[in-house]
Amino acid sequence: MDVIDLDIMWNRLINTATEQRKALIRTAFSTVLRESEDCAAGVFDVAGNLMAQAPTGTPGQVNSMATSIGNFLEVFPIDGLRPGDVLITNDPWKTAGHLNDISVLTPVFRNDRVIGFFGSCAHSLDIGGRGFSSDARSLYEEGLFIPFSKLVEGGQLNKIVLDFIRHNVRSPNLVVGDIMAQVTCNSVGAERLLAMMDEFGLEDLTDLSREIIDRSERVMREAIQRIPDGRYEAEVISDGFDEPIRIRCAVIVSDDEILVDFAGSSGEVKRGINVPLCYTASYSITGLKCLLAPSVPNNAGTFRAIRVTAPPGSILNATAPAPVAGRHIIGNFQPLVIFKALAPVMPRAVIACSSVLWITTVQGATEADPFTLTFFSSGGMGARGAKDGLSATSFPGNIAMTPVEMIESVSPIVVREKGLRPNSAGAGRQRGGFGQTFRFGLRSPVPFTVNTMCDQIREEPYGLDGGRAGEPGRYLVSGGDQLSHYKAMVTLPGGADIIMQLPGGGGMGHPHLRDPSLVLADVESGLVTADSARDDYGVVVQQAGTVWTLDAGATEHLRQSQAV
């Protein structure tokens, strides 16, 4: 295939998937999609291989969806599909890991035959059951299970499927509106793809798909070959629900292939923080791709050389009907433990421990109406090999927080405080990112229910290579009292506030090797206090006008670091 044509078509596919995702966001009803953009979109060839995705899709959705097309086709073989068909499911073990993520798949026809698919996966504001929380004891409590179904058949909407959904969720207009936005965005993608095929005279996508996927696979394998063969092991600890969860992995590098084995991790638990293997694989692949080949567009070729295993019945390979609503809590640690394992051989490429994503759902009823709102919050990102961690930016979760103005306009919630959290970043040659403080309540003094799927309140985000840990999080109610259980759904009295203090990221490298001018800049900004600067960095701050002085130890470390 002509290399120039290939480059043009490859980029057109990525742009098509990007436009597909933008169409979803712009036509969505809920703030989960419109503001936080908790969704993914992609185009697949006729065999179900991911050819291109929207670059900003969430990892747990797009990579899970990338391996799920075969599951759709097992139920609905290609020869049984007709123009106008649209498929739907939220099977956690065969798509994206929990019931709230709904996958919609649309076959694309050209000359009366299927030539590919457009898929979208989006987080539903509500799926019934207990509500979006991590304290259910089985999948049956977590909400409506949508089996593989035809949402649209031959252009005719299946009203029975929609009625099942509508009558099992708390916000039917928002939920069904988002599903129809998924149908719309897939249609937009199909139109753009067919126009491109007309322009380049393509009858099918076979040759184009093979070129894209093979080239990406080759780059990924070459990157793997630069890692010395061997077995690299690490362990991280999550707070868990009732007791800490051990996440242990071995990264086994053999020539141009990698096996990530999570044997030795904790067993599955009776609360909704278990992880199906599809989600475990998704985030593991995401971490390795970020590390090894970040510039290569994501497609089926980027994960062919990677295999992910975990013992059945373990926390990272939970079996049905284990509860899985909060699977992101444990799933977010997977890239981090892989980075920790590979830190000895890739010290400048990995990052220290980041704050995992916190997801909060608030439910209640005012005199006007019942309401449900889900929003996302980020703590500090771990320090990087040559740069500080980003503040209020989680990793690997990449979902935006709903703007305060939008939260207050679509619900009775009032946000009383939102800002960076001083002294929360882990000290280091490169410091971690700062966490944030977020405080909210209701405008009306009525009781409300809140659940925050959070972590790193007991276990602090660790540093690497001598860097210090970030400050752990705190989850408080008015008056400063720690909630008795911060992963369970709780009902609060009218007038109460929730205070979330999100963790800071871990540091990288010994703090005394940090450029003191950067420390002083943090002190001047108010994000690091003078006492913390002295304790962590050996920098003594004398606030006499603009005079700053360094102690002898810090000056010597500065001289050594400059020499290096």
Statement: residue 547 has pLDDT above 50: no
Domain identity same for 465 and 536: no
CB 190 within 8 A of CB 117: no
Local confidence band at 156 (pLDDT 50, 70, 90 cut-offs): very high
Final residue belonging to a domain, choices 217, 238, 260: 217
Please compute the mean of the pLDDT values over residues 535-543 and round it to a whole number: 77
Residue 226 domain-assigned?
no
Which residue shows structure tokens 């199909």? Answer: 190
Local confidence band at 322 (pLDDT 50, 70, 90 cut-offs): very high
Residue 262 domain-assigned?
no
In this predicted model, what pLDDT tens digit does every residue of 269-285 receive, in sequence order? 999 999 999 999 999 99
Residue 340 domain-assigned?
no
* 14-28, 316-330, 547-561: range with lowest mean pLDDT: 547-561
Please compute the mean of the pLDDT values over residues 65-93 and round it to a whole number: 94
Domain identity same for 460 and 535: no
Residue 427 domain-assigned?
yes
Domain identity same for 446 and 537: no
Which residue shows structure tokens 């207990």? Answer: 130
Domain identity same for 416 and 439: yes
- The residues pairing with 46 across neighbouring beta strands, listed in sequence order, are none
Q: Which pLDDT belongs to residue 555?
A: 56
Domain identity same for 461 and 537: no
Please compute the mean of the pLDDT values over residues 2-28 and round it to a whole number: 96
Domain identity same for 93 and 201: yes
Residue 458 domain-assigned?
yes
Domain identity same for 170 and 34: yes
Domain identity same for 484 and 405: yes
Q: What percent of the chain stands above pLDDT 70?
A: 96
- Plot region of 268 (φ>0 → left; ψ -120 to 50 → alpha; else → beta): beta
**Domain span holding position 533:** 516-563
Q: Please count the structural domains in the chain.
A: 3
Domain identity same for 475 and 375: yes
DSSP one-letter string for 417-463: EEEE-TT-SPPSSBPPPP-EEEEEEESS---EEEEEE---SSS----
Q: Which of 310, 274, 304, 264 is nearest to 288 (CA)?
A: 304
Domain identity same for 385 and 524: no
Domain identity same for 531 and 464: no
Statement: residue 423 has pLDDT above 60: yes
Domain identity same for 394 and 453: yes
More confident site: 398 or 98: 98
Q: Which pLDDT belongs to residue 399?
A: 86
Residue 269 domain-assigned?
no
Final residue belonging to a domain, choices 217, 250, 268: 217
